[in-house]
Structure 1
């Protein structure tokens, strides 16, 4: 098709600080995973569709299929019962692909490319 831009699995972003490959980044109300290292002020790509292993708040108890809260200050996902603070994203952008209990520091997350709620 002549009007196709791309498949929609990645989105460009401008790094507000140095970003490392695999790091979760917020683009507006969408969450994604950086596909490569990106220097502060440079443009990179974030995958917004797929399952990735990412940081989890250690004390959070998360069930498979649960919507998640991106805790910006912890740079990790928390359960959906967490009280969001400024900069956190809740709702549809990320869903737990597996269960993860207390003491676990990473989790497989399905990124949806769907906007969430930015606090």
Structure 2
């Protein structure tokens, strides 16, 4: 292994952008992940950047498998809306009906450079 290797990067520490509870989708720049513990704003929080998670979604949307999913950074709520400021976090892994409070998303780990 290269001497400059640090870690696999599936779980990383970032400063909490606001008060966070465990299980919340956290966005810091181009990184997005699920918080592994509670953290106060500015404190370090460990986030899982890849994997499949149930996340809160905009209730009045239906999701199709494979559809691009974005998060509204200030709220952690996922959406299909490409509104300015929303961050691409992954793809829907299951159908979600309209209305429904949650959806299943496969997180990508980071926003692709082309989407930034």
Q: Under TM normalisation by the shorter chain, which class is it?
A: 0.7 to 0.9
Query: Secondary structure of the equivalent of 1:95?
Result: strand
Across the aligned residues of Structure 1 and Structure 2, the Cα RMSD in angstroms comes to: 1.7
Residue ranges of structure 2 left out of the alignment (5+ in a row): none
Equivalent residue for 1:84? 83
**Deviation above 6 Å: which 4+ runs of structure 1?**
none
Post-superposition Cα deviations, 1:4-37, rounded to whole Å, max 9, x if no partner, equal 3111101211012210011011121121111111
- Asked if the contact 2:12–2:48 (Cα under 8 Å) also holds between the matched residues in 1, the reply is yes
TM-score by length of 2: 0.86
Q: How does 1:1-119 map to 2 (within 5 A)?
A: 1=1, 2-72=3-73, 75-79=76-80, 82-85=81-84, 87-90=85-88, 93-116=89-112, 117=115
- Asked if the contact 1:31–1:94 (Cα under 8 Å) also holds between the matched residues in 2, the reply is no
- For this pair of structures, how many residues does the alignment match? 113
Distance in 1 between the 2:28 and 2:73 partners?
13
Residue ranges of structure 1 left out of the alignment (5+ in a row): none
- Asked if the contact 1:69–1:84 (Cα under 8 Å) also holds between the matched residues in 2, the reply is no
TM-score by length of 1: 0.84
